[in-house]
Amino acid sequence: MPLLTLTSDIGEQDYLVGAVKGRLLRIDPDFQIVDITHKLSPFNYPQAAYVCRNAIKNFPEYTYHIVLVNLFESKPEQLLFAFHKEQYLICADNGLLGMILEEKPDMVIGVPLDKLAIKNTLYCIDVAAKAIMQLAKGSPIQTIGIPDTAYIEKNPLRPTLGDNWIEGQIIFIDNFENVIVNITQDQFEQQRKGRKFKIVFKRDEIIERISGSYADVPQGEKLVLFNSAGYMEIAINKGNAAGLFGLKGYNESGSQQISTMVQNRLFYQTVKVFFE
């Protein structure tokens, strides 16, 4: 029974997530389907990459991860099937694959889409599900499409490094308005080299220690810790860090910047660490 995960920016307000699951089960009633999330922000590649990367690695080997994010950024001609570190990843050819993996996949196959088909979300699911069935029945991955296909690549959003500093971008804000920065604990320690540090955000907010849990500071106080995925997190014990400090997730969309200006509010999207 193949195990499938679904991740999307579709939302849950209408029929489409249910229709996607229905199409999958119609093709193979034995599919086991697990939702990761359907509430990713539209067009926000760094957020989607963070969520997918840190969910996927916790699943059993040979799970099929279907990522329906920005499927139609350009006219789709193929779906990508990647196999990497014993996991299958299926997504649009839109640059997200490399951002999720942060490296070249062990193998990538291009599954062509019918030039005459109406290429909507449900059609793409049908194509993906039929390819998954072939793989689950033992067909070599090279037989489902074009091996080593050319595909769009986008650079992962990485922190900027200096001799005495590291600057990261806010990539995710969770349900509690805790703020996730794209600086991992490993990157932090490699750059720190045992030195003292100051974590600076919103111009004048400074934190000089790493906490082990939210309870390390009094209620209402700010803190920094590394979350279960190993990423820097700015939080307030029983408070809302993003709203209080005016912190907003990184987004390449110009429309969001315009919207922010119209609202006449100042949002901060970066966090800097100074070492001394």
Rounded average pLDDT over 267-274: 86
Would you state the pLDDT for residue 165? 97
The answer to whether the beta carbons of residues 231 and 180 sit under 8 Å apart is yes
Q: Quick one: CATH architecture of 3-147?
A: 3-Layer(aba) Sandwich (3.40)
The neighbouring-strand residues paired with 179 are 173, 234
Domain 3-147 shares a fold with domain 160-275 = no
Class of domain 160-275: mainly beta
Residues 200, 273: Cα–Cα separation, whole Å: 6
Helices (H) and strands (E) counted in the chain, each on its own, are 7, 15
pLDDT in tens, 78-99: 999 999 999 999 999 999 999 9
Domain positions in the chain: 3-147, 160-275
Crossing angle of helices 16-27 and 121-136, rounded to 10°: 30
Would you state the pLDDT for residue 268? 67
Question: Confidence class of residue 139 from pLDDT cuts 50, 70 and 90?
Answer: very high
| pTM for the structure as a whole | 0.89
Among 48-52, 56-60, 155-159, 184-188, whose mean pLDDT is lowest? 155-159
Would you state the pLDDT for residue 254? 41
DSSP state for residue 268 in the 8-state scheme:
B
Would you state the pLDDT for residue 267? 56
Q: Cβ–Cβ contacts within 10 Å for residue 25, how many?
A: 13
Exposed/middle/buried for residue 40 (C-beta within 10 Å: 0-12, 13-18, 19+) = buried
